Amino acid sequence: MDFPYSRLRRWPDVEADNLQAYDATDLLLVDRALSLGVDGREIAVIGDEYGAITLALTDAGLDGVRVHQDLATGRRALARNAAELDLAGFSSHELESSLLAGARLVLLQLPKALAELEEVADAVARWAAPDVVLVAGGRVKHMTIAQNEALGRSFAEVRAERAERKSRLVVASAPRPVPAEPPFPVTARHDGLTLVAHGGAFAGAKLDIGTRVLLDALGLDRSRLGANATESAENTPNRPDVTRSSGVMGGERPSSAPTVVDLGCGTGALAASYALAHPESRVIATDRSAAAVASARATMVANGVDDRVVVTHDDAGSEIDGARADVVLLNPPFHLGSSVHTGAATRLFEAAARILRPGGELFTVYNSSLGYRAELTRLVGATEQLERTPKFTVTRSVRR
């Protein structure tokens, strides 16, 4: 009996008519795995967005399949879809040895970032069985020769197969000897701020342009970090006084130290910068990407603020109590996987509205062409523009 792919849902991720919980690549990977006759306990699945690969294998009778999903939304979708279909027989892991030890077959939905692919390929060559075969798949329009080259750094044999249904499989085998230390995470310094990044973290160890613009608008640019950062930020003209938390647009300063949330924190640049500049604050950094969370935790350690910043793997701050935060910092994504879609940003605006106390402030940076100001006003409250560059806009919204 064919697996009921159509019953799978993306929930709690964004759902829309043009967004499915599976694609042709999932089907090709499942068909290949079933044709090879490998025991389920020797199979690892990486990048299974909503559980289509894992659940199809368990539905076919394979037991003990191990799976790694980067996104918290994917993990929740897998659990929900498994419950809906009454399926079990798999276990979830981080990208570490427990995922890959003894694995003879690894199925991979190709990630968009080459750095993430390089980290995954190294992990498979490092921890899986010596005769492991890595079968990676993707949509043809998103595949490049550079992906084959990345796989070739960890495997002696890399072979691309003929496309089917606009998807293609690439088979890598004969793992090469691995270096003593993994290639990730990587570290970079930016004028007083240290960023640490795993392969799957957005922008890597670079300080992306949008974050730079937001840091500058808040008076938290890297040149002012350190012992005099708070004084410098307070005395910089035309900067919002974030040291006083909310109330910049008419409220009262809270009697206790402000609670600040870096929502969708990535490598933790905003959270670390805020904690360095304002050691009296309570900072929560949260992201739905496991790679981002691991990176942000390492970033906090590198900057000596890990005792003052809590980093959580969560979906849109769902585990943060409502009306708790005084300030939310947000640099939202405008992609869902390989699709341009504003739904991810909308969910984060809604999350900010939920976790901010009345009068609390949301500081957002976004691509100016997206024109989010009206939506921020509708979902959060009165919104004004703080800064605009040719590419980015920074706004401040006060929770109604």
**pLDDT of the chain, 400 residues: tens digit per residue:** 599 999 999 999 888 888 899 999 999 999 999 999 999 999 999 999 999 999 999 999 999 999 999 999 999 999 999 999 999 999 999 999 999 999 999 999 999 999 999 999 999 999 999 999 999 999 999 999 999 999 999 999 999 999 999 999 999 999 999 999 999 999 999 989 999 999 999 999 999 999 999 999 999 864 444 333 344 334 444 556 565 444 333 344 444 789 999 999 999 999 999 999 999 999 999 999 999 999 999 999 999 999 999 999 999 999 999 999 999 999 998 644 444 445 779 999 999 999 999 999 999 999 999 989 999 999 999 999 999 999 999 999 999 9
Q: Which two tokens stand for residue 56?
A: 């199809």
d(CA 362, CA 326): 9
Helices 290-302 and 269-277: crossing angle in degrees, nearest 10, is: 30
Determine the longest span between alpha carbons in the chain, in angstroms: 69
Q: d(Cα 15, Cα 279) in Å, to the nearest integer?
A: 40
Gap between the Cα atoms of 117 and 120, Å rounded: 5
What pLDDT is recorded for position 333? 82
Alpha carbon distance 233, 39 (integer Å): 59
Res 221: pLDDT: 64
The predicted structure's pLDDT at residue 220: 85
pLDDT at position 299, please? Answer: 98
- pLDDT for the residue numbered 17: 86
Tell me the C-alpha to C-alpha distance, in Å, between residue 330 and each of 176, 277, 288, 308, 393: 41, 18, 14, 19, 12
For residue 51, what pLDDT is reported?
A: 98
Closest CA relative to residue 327, chosen from 248, 385, 383: 248
Domain extents in the chain: 5-175, 186-398
Residue 374: the pLDDT is 96
327 sits in the region (left: phi over 0; alpha: psi -120 to 50; else beta) called: beta
Please state, in angstroms and rounded to a whole number, the distance separating the CA atoms of residues 145 and 127: 25
- pTM of the entire predicted model: 0.90
The SS3 call for residue 391 is coil
Fold classification of 5-175 is Rossmann fold (3.40.50)
Same fold, 5-175 and 186-398: yes
pLDDT on residue 265: 97
Give dist(CA 264, CA 286) in Å, integer.
6
Query: What's the confidence (pLDDT) of residue 335?
Result: 47
Q: If one looks up domain 186-398 in CATH, what number appears?
A: 3.40.50.150
